[in-house]
Amino acid sequence: MGNVYEKYGVNKYLSGMGLAVDADYHGFNAGQRILECRRPLCERLGVQVTATVFTAPASQHIASKIGFEPLAELEYATYEDNGKKPFASAPGKAIVMGLKF
Name which of 73, 87, 90, 98 is nearest 7 in CA terms. 98
Give the pLDDT confidence of 42-52 residue by residue, as tens digits.
999 999 999 99
How many domains, the chain? 1
**Dihedral sign computed on CA atoms, order 18, 37, 4, 67:** positive
Give the pLDDT confidence of 66-91 residue by residue, as tens digits.
999 999 999 999 999 999 999 999 99
**Dihedral sign computed on CA atoms, order 87, 96, 19, 93:** negative
Q: What percent of the chain has pLDDT over 90?
A: 96
Is residue 98 over pLDDT 70?
A: yes
According to the model, what pLDDT value does residue 1 have?
A: 59
CATH number at residue 30: 3.40.630.30
Domain that holds residue 53: 4-100
